[in-house]
Amino acid sequence: MRRIAVLVVVLLALFAGLLAAGNLGLGPLVVTREDEQKLILLLGEVRRVTHPGLSLRVPLLETAQTYDRRWLYLSTEALPIQTKDGEQLTVDNYVIWRIDDAVAFRRSFPRGMQDAGERIDRTVRDDVREVIGRHTLTDVLKDARVAIMSDITTQSRAALTDEGIDIADVRINRTELPEGTEESVYARMKTERERLAKKNRAEGRERARAIRAEADREARVIVANAQRDAEIARGVGDAEAARIYAESYASDAEFYAFHRSLQAYRETIGEGTTLVLSPKAEFFQYFEGMTPGRPSAGSAD
């Protein structure tokens, strides 16, 4: 039992020694942490890429080269940039990036992180200058700031992906006018805003005139159509009334004549009206209870 215990202790000590040697880059064990990625090299040529955990290598022949897997931060110095409308800005930015492909990264940057930082800085600066140069001062400061940063990130990521670098985000830290130019820039901005205001007001007045003209035209068309429909309805009504009158007269001509006479009395004889007519006139025939064309009951033979 004592020998077994001693053997276990020896094996544990040996394993601990191998782990320690692996952490130092020695021995057959290679220890890769979660925030690392390692390349196993044989005579300077890449043999394989390790994953987090333990892996084996041939001592003395194979070596391990370690690269960071974490997201890294790179800040750039401010640089002057001219916008689309001719304004000068002082802009600085930062980049969030990481090594995505260790093999491509080693091939592109033999000197490691220094070369990579210079390459990223140069690429992002060029993209910042190119994208901002397509926009106006107002776009950069307010209207399209988020879209501008998104475009820069997309362009930089596309330019560096083949070199083993993944760009997560490019952000503009500071956007300032050069010293001594604020007043002239503000004066130009004020003049431009006044010009745009006049232009918008003129366009608004022109649009209002067009709308009023169109509304007047539509109103005339609507009124004309309504008058046409009214005339048609009135004609139909008059025709229907004439038909009813004709049917009524045909069914009882005497009653119709009596009704028309009453209407004539109502419209003709009012308060204070004086008529000079013969009592035998046909107009007054119904006053004496006479039947049209027949003598009254009290008349002589």
The pLDDT tens digits along the chain (301 residues) read 666 665 554 555 554 554 554 454 555 677 778 888 887 877 767 777 887 777 766 666 777 778 888 899 998 888 888 888 887 888 888 999 998 888 888 888 888 888 999 999 999 999 999 998 888 888 888 878 889 999 999 999 999 999 999 999 999 888 877 666 566 667 777 787 888 899 999 999 999 999 999 999 999 999 999 999 999 999 999 898 888 877 777 777 777 777 777 777 777 777 777 767 666 666 666 665 544 444 444 343 3
Q: Yes or no: say if 74 and 97 are a contact pair by the CB < 8 Å rule.
A: yes
| pLDDT score at 159 | 93
Residue with token string 């005139």: 209
| pLDDT score at 298 | 39
Coil, strand, or helix at residue 164?
A: coil
| pLDDT score at 295 | 46
Residue spans per domain, the chain = 15-67, 72-184
156 alpha-carbon distance from chain centroid: 26
Q: Yes or no: say if 56 and 64 are a contact pair by the CB < 8 Å rule.
A: no
Coil, strand, or helix at residue 46?
A: strand
| pLDDT score at 79 | 84
DSSP assignment letter at 263: H
Question: What is the C-alpha to C-alpha distance for residues 88 and 68, in angstroms, rounded to an integer?
Answer: 38
CATH architecture of 72-184: 2-Layer Sandwich (3.30)
The set of residues, in sequence order, having a beta carbon less than 8 Å from that of 130 and lying 6+ positions away, is 155
The set of residues, in sequence order, having a beta carbon less than 8 Å from that of 119 and lying 6+ positions away, is 108, 109, 160, 163, 165
What contacts 24+ positions apart, CB below 8 Å, involve 60-66?
A: 63/25, 64/25, 64/30, 64/38, 64/39, 64/40, 65/38, 65/39, 65/41, 65/106, 66/36, 66/37, 66/38
| pLDDT score at 6 | 54
| pLDDT score at 251 | 76
Question: What is the C-alpha to C-alpha distance for residues 291 and 251, in angstroms, rounded to an integer?
Answer: 18
